[in-house]
Amino acid sequence: MPALSFLEVGPRDGLQNEKKILSLEDKTKFIVKLTQAGLKRIELGAFVSPKWVPQMKDSKELIQKILKLQKENKIDPQVQFSALVPNQKGLEQALKSGIKEISIFLSTTDSFSKKNINATRESAYKKYQAVCRQAHKENLKIRAYLSVCFDCPYEGKVPQKEVIKWVQKIEGLGVYEISISDTTGKARAIEAEDLFQKLFHFISKEKLACHFHNVHGTALANVWSAYKMGLRSFDGSLGGLGGCPYSKVPSGNVPTESLIYLLKGAEDPTIKKLLPIARWLEERLEKKLPSPLIESPYYTV
Ligand code: HMG
Ligand code: MG
């Protein structure tokens, strides 16, 4: 059984939908703080169009700064960083930044795919075949997201056979992990369990991760279902910040600190290190974050 693994998506999924643009300096501080709290996998940004997602426009500079700090041993050398890549241009930027891991992202429906990346699923997939070929040649690690695995904001309930079909196609691109994403937070634990059970006939559980948005308060229950089914890789965002700008819903992520609370216990020292960062982020963004642990008397007194 593989060890538990958490991917912190706060600097990318967390921030991408925020109107207040954080300065490069604050983004750098945010990430350094996350590494000091002990997080080992962090998604730093996205090489997407700044016209589509303005908050991600300085991803290249940010990544270069973070990798330089890591080279100078000011950041734990064990921390693995990644960034989102939507197409060939994104890959070129990623290579210039020096990042060693990219995440590709596809959807189970054409409607969501077109809204999100202006391409049908097949056309995006074809572009990714070339992107992944080159990325492998450049020795990059590749991870993938499959969005709208339960519900699509434009097409409604997503048939499981579409998820299975796209998981198999994506595995063929040579990615090391596929994150099953509930973009609109509509999934329920019993549906998550059922989907994973079906998926295990086609892909090993070690290659699956999950990415539950928390729109309807069900994300942690879904995580628990996934854990009971044998998954060990979980995406989360500090403070529960985040969501896809094209999901039509105000979709926070499952908070990283809640993932740790659920799966490692309330006393895990990382939680106490993360909560002051969440409060700092609230100040920088001038808003409250949804994570219940931030206000918990257990951690504040
Ligand atoms: P497009 O307009 O179709 O691109 O956008 P194009 O190829 O037609 O080119 C148009 C212009 O965009 C050109 O510039 C290109 O150079 C430029 P111009 O000549 O007009 O000056 N361009 C780019 N610029 C920067 N970076 C690039 C890039 N590619 C082209 N990579 C594109 C296509 C994919 C770029 C666009 O649709 C886009 O950026 N979409 C944003 C997608 C996004 O970030 N979504 C949120 C993240 S996904 C998510 O949150 C879901 C996830 O969390 C899982 C889940 O929860 O489900 C992962
Ligand atoms: Mg997401």
- Highest mean pLDDT out of 110-124, 237-251, 287-301: 110-124
Q: What is the pLDDT of residues 44-81, one digit of tens each?
A: 999 999 999 999 999 999 999 999 999 999 999 999 99
Q: What percent of the chain has a predicted confidence (pLDDT) above 70?
A: 100
pLDDT above 90: residue 128? yes
The verdict on the CB of residue 43 being under 6 Å from ligand 1 is no
Read off the pTM: 0.97
Q: What is the pLDDT of residues 21-38, one digit of tens each?
A: 999 999 999 999 999 999
Cα(200) to centroid of ligand 1, in Å?
32
Rounded to whole angstroms, the Cα distance separating 256 from 189 reads 18
Read off the pLDDT of each residue in 159-168 and give the average, rounded to a whole number. Answer: 98
Ligand (nearest to CA of 147): 1
For a mutational test of ligand 1's pocket, the pick from 17, 43, 48, 180, i.e. the residue with the most ligand atoms closer than 8 A to its C-beta, is 48
Q: What local confidence, expressed as pLDDT, does residue 247 receive?
A: 77
The band of 244, judged by pLDDT with boundaries at 50, 70 and 90, is: confident
Q: What local confidence, expressed as pLDDT, does residue 301 receive?
A: 57
Rounded to whole angstroms, the Cα distance separating 143 from 121 reads 17
Q: What local confidence, expressed as pLDDT, does residue 245 receive?
A: 79
The verdict on the CB of residue 181 being under 6 Å from ligand 1 is yes
Q: Which atom of ligand 1 is nearest to the CA of 119?
A: 3
Q: What local confidence, expressed as pLDDT, does residue 248 receive?
A: 79
pLDDT above 90: residue 137? yes
pLDDT above 90: residue 208? yes
The verdict on the CB of residue 47 being under 6 Å from ligand 1 is yes
The verdict on the CB of residue 234 being under 6 Å from ligand 1 is no
Beta bridge partners of 41: 80
Read off the pLDDT of each residue in 88-114 and give the average, rounded to a whole number. Answer: 98
| CA-nearest residue, atom 37 of ligand 1 | 117
Q: Which atom of ligand 1 is nearest to the CA of 149?
A: 57
